[in-house]
A and B are shown apart, each in its own frame.
Chain A
Amino acid sequence: MRRFVLIAIPYAWLLALFLVPFVIVFKISLSDIALAIPPYTPTLRDGFAEFWAGLDFENFVWLTQDDLYWKAYLSSVRIALFSTLLTLLVGYPIAYGMARAPEEWRPTLMMLVILPFWTSFLIRVYAWMGILSNEGLLNQFLLALGVISEPLTILNTNTAVYIGIVYTYLPFMILPIYATLDRMDGSLIEAAEDLGCSRAQAFWLVTIPLSRPGIIAGCFLVFIPVIGEFVIPSLLGGSGTLMIGKVLWEEFFSNRDWPVASAVAVVLLLILVIPIVLFQRNQQKQAEKDT
């Protein structure tokens, strides 16, 4: 009896507030927009037969017809891929440096990496607005140095979006890589050098392959949430920055087209299923290896 209650309460909560909402999204994605409250048709008030008949895939067809949507999906994936790579390139040396730092520094360095994670995401994105704008500090700095003669336009471009993503998602990349590097047996590097490797060869042949699980985990942890990112493109990106999270938001709040917004969400979810399943499988494989 006690076991039943223990299972039933969180289960019921998740069913009601996680699964059922999805079913509703899916249902509305098959409905049509209407000037009513709620602004779509059919609803169950129309009777079951009519309700069933009123559902169609019109919105999904629409998504394929209008350039905006598939371009936005494509550009989200592209931005996510490229920024994941950038985050890896920035994050790996930091994680490596942390793992090689004297042992008594490491907890402090860890705290310094985690600290920004506890501060508001919104504020961290906002911080870059003042730096990257035309009159911003970066341009003032570069002008003063004489590197440039005209202010660079960075804010409201994809470059600003990349900077914002790398900045906010960096801890997600550093921590798993650091974890694998920290666990690594230092004598492996010595063994490689003993067997004739130079420093660089030992890094390439031993350190990189052994930190692969961390690299993979870090990349997924950045890639998956970035695809649906909304705050960064809307604050740092410009009109040319197409990301599907922003499209969905505007479809819902500005156009008030709930059925199309729902259809956009369903397709986004389908796109995300692939990396999520791959990620889960990778984590499981890792967990099995560790035991």
Chain B
Amino acid sequence: MTRLSWFNTVSLTLGFAFLYIPMIILVVYSFNESKLVTVWAGFSTKWYGELVRNEAFLDAAWVTVKVAVFSSTIATILGTMAALVLVRAGRFLGRTLFSGMIYAPLVMPEVITGLSLLLLFIGIGLDRGILTIVLAHTTFSMCYVSVVVSSRLVSFDRSLEEAALDLGASQAEAFRLVTLPIIAPAVISGWLLAFTLSLDDLVIASFTAGPSATTLPIKIFSAVRLGVSPEINALSTIMIAIVTVGVITASLVTKRAMVRQQQDEQAAIRAG
């Protein structure tokens, strides 16, 4: 492999600096002593302490996690079903409408999705709270899940299922014992995607949340609107740390699985 030319080196360095420097600054200033975020006044972890004592934030965080767990789990089930319908069900009445409804939320501006769901909840007299946020998040994240899962299903070798049926498995057993384990990585990444989308969402949650349930992004947004605050920096740092650890762990696990598979294959060749 050729080495990088100076042009590529410069563009990669600048590009990744642009992507990461703002976040690094954010993290660094969360340890700032001063209330003024932009003036460095020495190292301190006091804002983390403030954060832990701030019950409004803790409540919001708890609500957010609950919403994310419920909505991503339901969305994964519904999204996997939708993916099966898209890839496997063949023709049925209203198929075009169905696939349209799967893809539309991916490109729909959040303000419109939020507004329309809010108007629905008010129309049917549903009180806004955790339930309504869960319903809203499930609806848009199931579409992401179904896109992820269906791209895996498309490349799935149908003869594996046929082999299972041939060996005496029922349709349900073939799905549970053969199909599901093979598409499981896609289902899991679909769940993770749905979970993150739910944690992240501000706009749709703002429309569908009621006074009884506020999520973390809503809380952060209203605090941030008034300007930068070290407490938010501390909160952001924690969130960034969780995501970074999660993503790196996930990629290490995948990498190790790949290396192990390669080693196994080589061992098999040597042994053969």
Interface set of A (CB-CB < 8 Å, partner B): 2-3, 6-7, 9-11, 13-15, 17-22, 24-25, 28, 38, 90, 93-94, 96-98, 100-103, 107, 109, 111-116, 118-124, 126-131, 133, 135-137, 140, 167, 170, 224-225, 227-231, 234-235, 245, 248-249, 252, 258, 261-262, 265, 268-269, 272, 276, 279-280
Contact = CB atoms under 8 A, between A and B. Distances in A.
B15 to A, nearest CB: 4
Complex A-B, nearest 4 residue pairs according to Cβ-Cβ distance, in ascending order: A228-B109, A21-B116, A94-B15, A93-B11
B51 interface: no
A261 to B, nearest CB: 6
B120 A230 contact: no
Nearest to A37: B122
Given A10-B85, A17-B117, A276-B107, 10 more contacts: A10-B142, A14-B98, A18-B104, A93-B11, A97-B11, A118-B243, A119-B239, A122-B221, A126-B232, A136-B38
Given A97-B15, A261-B115, A130 B247 contact: no
B116 A265 contact: yes
15 contacts: A6-B84, A6-B85, A7-B89, A22-B116, A97-B7, A97-B12, A98-B12, A102-B4, A130-B25, A230-B110, A231-B221, A245-B111, A252-B115, A252-B207, A258-B119
Given A6-B81, A7-B92, A126-B236, A133 B38 contact: yes
B73 interface: no
Contacts of A17: 117, 120, 135-136, 138-139
Interface in B224-246: 224-225, 227-228, 232-233, 236, 239-240, 243-244, 246
A279 B228 CA distance: 38
Contacts of B11: 93-94, 96-97
B119 A97 contact: no
B89 A13 contact: no
Nearest to A39: B122
Given A10-B85, A126-B232, A130-B228, A100 B15 contact: no
A272 B98 CA distance: 20
Nearest to B223: A126
A225 B200 CA distance: 16
A162 to B, nearest CB: 13
Interface string B152-193: 000000000000000000010000000000000000000000
Interface stretch (B16-24, B55-63, B261-269): B16-24
Contacts of A101: 4, 8, 12
Contacts of B255: 107
B29 interface: yes
B116 A97 contact: no
Contact of A131 (B7, B25, B123): B25
B109 A272 contact: yes
Contacts of B171: 2
Contact of B1 (A19, A102, A249): A102
Nearest to A126: B224
A11 B269 CA distance: 48
Contact of A118 (B36, B38, B97, B247): B247
B213 interface: no
Interface string B27-63: 0010000001111000000000000000000000000
Nearest to B86: A10
Contacts of A28: 119
Nearest to B37: A130
Contact of B23 (A11, A124, A258, A276): A124
B100 to A, nearest CB: 9
Contacts of B239: 119-120, 123
Interface string B195-222: 0100110110001000000000100110
A68 to B, nearest CB: 16
A6 B221 contact: no
Contact of B22 (A11, A124, A224): A124
A261 B4 CA distance: 52
A75 B255 CA distance: 46
Nearest to B218: A122
A59 to B, nearest CB: 14
